[in-house]
Amino acid sequence: MKITRRQLRRLISESMYDPMHGVKSLEEPYRGKIMTVLDDPDASPADRTQFHQLADTVTDYKDPRPGMPDDSMAGVKAQQEGYLSNAAAEIETYLPGFLNLPKDIIDAVVEFVFLSKNPVLHILLDEDMVEHEFSEDVHYRGTHFQEIQKPENAEAVAMMNDIRRNPKSHDVKFYYIYAAHSTYEGVDPFSRIDPQGFGDAQNGFFDGFFGEYKKVTTAQKYVIDPYSFDQAFIKIMRDLRPGHEEEVIN
């Protein structure tokens, strides 16, 4: 059954929460003993996973919904993988060859697009494109201090203000990306794929994500014209994560 993009976003978001079904079903003293590990900030991820699975095993928890995967800790992980696979396939429709990227990069992009908190695209206005589209002096008349004082330039000023203040209302062709930031599980997803190892999200987006994508894309326009890649990613966010923020910084 095909699901809509809105349903996919909701399913992915909901599936990322640890339901802790098995733990909640435990009685004392077992629940208290397991929770001492799960609540321990020094416990390793492997230990936490092991104790979640132990709780599922002790309670013999199974998802009561017919036809759904096992909703134990292991089952939820399998379900998540299915949702994330669908999410990656959605991105592939905008960036051909995306699924050929290394898994860590695919994961970082999917986390940014579908799962992260407060995603922001810091974007730059392509002044040449604005002048090409409207007139060769509209940017000058609409932004330079002496020009914006002239009554005859009021329309140009209003247009340039709107293009800057309301970028999501305008075509992606007027913009390109300076940086992309968000938070997922306390970390900026793109900072994890910085090939230089500095944990810099901007490096992760351009040198990690775009750098690797150029090697695997089946659409050469993204290699020839980097702006095409930026604009495709802006469109991804507008279509798949419409609640994101866009901030023009020039």
Q: Are 63 and 69 in contact (CB under 8 A)?
A: yes
- Region 170-175 average pLDDT: 95
- Which of 201, 227, 213 has the alpha carbon at shortest distance from 105? 213
- Which of 163, 162, 144 has the alpha carbon at shortest distance from 153? 144
- pLDDT at residue 18 greater than cutoff 80: no
In this prediction, residue 16 carries a pLDDT of 47
Between 60 and 244, name the one with better pLDDT.
244
- Region 227-248 average pLDDT: 94
Q: 109-113, 159-163, 228-232: which range is least confident on average? A: 159-163
What gap in Å lies between CA 92 and CA 96, rounded to an integer?
A: 5
- pLDDT at residue 85 greater than cutoff 90: no
What gap in Å lies between CA 99 and CA 92, rounded to an integer?
A: 6
- Which of 171, 170, 173, 138 has the alpha carbon at shortest distance from 155? 138
- pLDDT at residue 223 greater than cutoff 50: yes
User: In 3-state terms, what secondary structure has residue 117?
Assistant: strand
Q: Output the six-digit token pair for 226.
A: 């980097």
- Region 5-12 average pLDDT: 58
What gap in Å lies between CA 78 and CA 87, rounded to an integer?
A: 14
DSSP secondary structure string, 118-144?
EEEEEEEE-HHHHHHHS-TTHHHHHHS
Conformational region of residue 20, where left means phi above 0, alpha means psi within -120 to 50, and beta covers everything else: left
Between 26 and 18, name the one with better pLDDT.
26
Strand partners, 187: 184
- pLDDT at residue 134 greater than cutoff 50: yes
| Sequence-separated (6 or more) residues with CB below 8 Å from residue 45 | none
Which residue type occupies 236?
I
Q: Are 159 and 138 in contact (CB under 8 A)?
A: yes
In this prediction, residue 218 carries a pLDDT of 83
Measured CA angle at 171 (ends 6, 128), to 5 deg: 150
In this prediction, residue 199 carries a pLDDT of 95
- pLDDT at residue 20 greater than cutoff 70: no
Q: 101-105, 142-146, 165-169, 208-212: which range is least confident on average? A: 142-146
- pLDDT at residue 187 greater than cutoff 60: yes
What gap in Å lies between CA 47 and CA 55, rounded to an integer?
A: 12
| Sequence-separated (6 or more) residues with CB below 8 Å from residue 106 | 88, 98, 99
- Which of 69, 91, 90 has the alpha carbon at shortest distance from 80? 69
Between 22 and 249, name the one with better pLDDT.
249
